């Protein structure tokens, strides 16, 4: 059986981040990609120029349609656009057994802003994410901006990441995986997995490239793919770290600004 993973995420017309990054990652990790689109962004490397949110019942309908017919081995969230969509997603996930007690692994990537700094939801969305999705998450995968929004903790070095992980864990997720990509003064890029008791460091090199669009999404979707393939959490986290380090290493220029990370590195040489 081919495992399947569901992304509940927004579309990036530039194809760098969002559901496009997730589907590419799923493909190269050997997992069939299922999609519930939450919003369509009008986007290129210069920014998010406009967007249209999908009606909440259509978001829930997509989750229900694939879950009841095709089966979901793991799911993840990306851009969720509004408090209304978040509430509907939480309810649809409960019906589909996605999330902590339903047992289907649920990766909540608390995407708050595009890499250009455009907010991808508002204050009400942040509260809904914290109250409705964090308690349902098998694993929460924030970057350091999202850590600050969710906990008020400003991470300036590796030691603060432990404090942040503990603070986030009290909000309900089973695991927290803090991404260190934004700690640009650190010569290494050590992410941190925390299960409420023990910390697991996920070491990686800090790769010198300006092209990092979609890195966070690709890490969370590789983690989702690993879980869909039946890996235990620490193994899936190490797999995701390995996947995204190579994706950043092979990132390519495209457009006038920051280019995308690459999922191509796992394909045959002639297609890279
Ligand atoms: O990288 C986070 C992200 C997620 N989803 C969409 C995005 C972005 C960042 O630009 O555009 C649709």
The whole-number pLDDT of residue 125 equals: 94
The whole-number pLDDT of residue 122 equals: 86
The strands making up 4-12's β-sheet, listed across from edge to edge, are 47-53, 32-44, 4-12, 74-77, 106-108, 139-140, 175-178, 191-194, 199-202
Residue 160 CB-density burial (10 A; 0-12 exposed, 13-18 middle, 19+ buried)? middle
Q: Is the CB of residue 217 less than 8 Å from the CB of residue 10?
A: no
As for ligand 1, residues whose beta carbon falls within 6 Å of it are 9-10, 12, 17-18, 41, 43, 78-79, 111, 114-115, 216-217
Q: Is the CB of residue 45 less than 8 Å from the CB of residue 256?
A: yes
As a whole number of angstroms, the distance between CA 120 and CA 51 comes to 9
The whole-number pLDDT of residue 113 equals: 84
The whole-number pLDDT of residue 103 equals: 93
Q: Is the CB of residue 45 less than 8 Å from the CB of residue 115?
A: no
Residue 153: CB atoms within 10 A of its CB come to 17
* β strands within the chain, DSSP E: 4-12, 32-44, 47-53, 74-77, 106-108, 139-140, 175-178, 191-194, 199-202
The whole-number pLDDT of residue 144 equals: 94
Give 253's contacts (C-beta < 8 A, 6+ positions apart). 211, 259
Q: Is the CB of residue 64 less than 8 Å from the CB of residue 95?
A: yes
Cα 243 to ligand 1 centroid, rounded to whole Å: 19
The overall pTM is greater than 0.85: yes
As a whole number of angstroms, the distance between CA 1 and CA 77 comes to 24
Give 159's contacts (C-beta < 8 A, 6+ positions apart). none
The whole-number pLDDT of residue 114 equals: 80
The whole-number pLDDT of residue 121 equals: 85
The whole-number pLDDT of residue 35 equals: 98
Mean pLDDT, each 10-residue run in order, the chain (272 residues): 97 97 97 98 96 98 98 97 97 97 94 83 93 98 94 92 97 97 89 98 94 96 98 98 96 96 87 72
Q: Is the CB of residue 16 less than 8 Å from the CB of residue 217?
A: no
Give the Cα-Cα-Cα angle 20, 18, 9 (nearest 5 degrees): 105
The whole-number pLDDT of residue 63 equals: 98
Ligand 1: which residue has its CA nearest to atom 9?
114
Ligand 1: which residue has its CA nearest to atom 8?
114
Residue 2: CB atoms within 10 A of its CB come to 9
């Amino acid at each position: 059986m081919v495992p399947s993973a569901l992304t509940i995420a927004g579309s990036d017309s530039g194809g760098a981040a969002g559901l496009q990054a997730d589907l590419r990652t799923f493909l190269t990790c050997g997992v069939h990609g299922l999609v519930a689109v939450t919003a369509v962004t009008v986007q290129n490397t210069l920014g998010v120029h406009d967007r249209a949110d999908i009606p909440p019942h259509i978001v829930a309908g997509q989750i229900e349609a694939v879950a009841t017919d095709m089966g979901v081995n793991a799911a993840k969230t990306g851009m969720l656009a509004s408090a209304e969509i978040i509430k509907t997603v939480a309810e649809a996930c409960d019906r589909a057994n996605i999330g902590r007690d339903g047992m289907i692994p649920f990766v909540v990537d608390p995407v708050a802003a595009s890499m250009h700094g455009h907010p991808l939801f508002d204050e009400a969305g942040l509260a809904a994410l914290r109250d409705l999705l964090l308690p349902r998450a098998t694993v929460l995968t924030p970057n350091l901006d999202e850590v600050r929004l969710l906990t008020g903790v400003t991470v300036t070095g590796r030691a603060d990441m432990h404090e942040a992980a503990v603070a986030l864990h009290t909000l309900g997720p089973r695991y927290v995986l803090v991404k260190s990509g934004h700690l640009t003064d650190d010569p290494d890029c050590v992410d941190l997995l925390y299960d409420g008791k023990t910390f697991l460091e996920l070491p990686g090199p800090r790769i010198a490239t300006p092209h990092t669009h979609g890195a966070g999404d690709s890490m969370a979707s590789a983690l989702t793919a690993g879980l869909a393939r039946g890996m235990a959490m620490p193994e899936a986290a190490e797999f995701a770290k390995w996947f995204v380090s190579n994706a950043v290493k092979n990132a390519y220029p495209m457009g006038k600004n920051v280019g995308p990370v690459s999922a191509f590195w796992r394909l045959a040489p002639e297609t890279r």
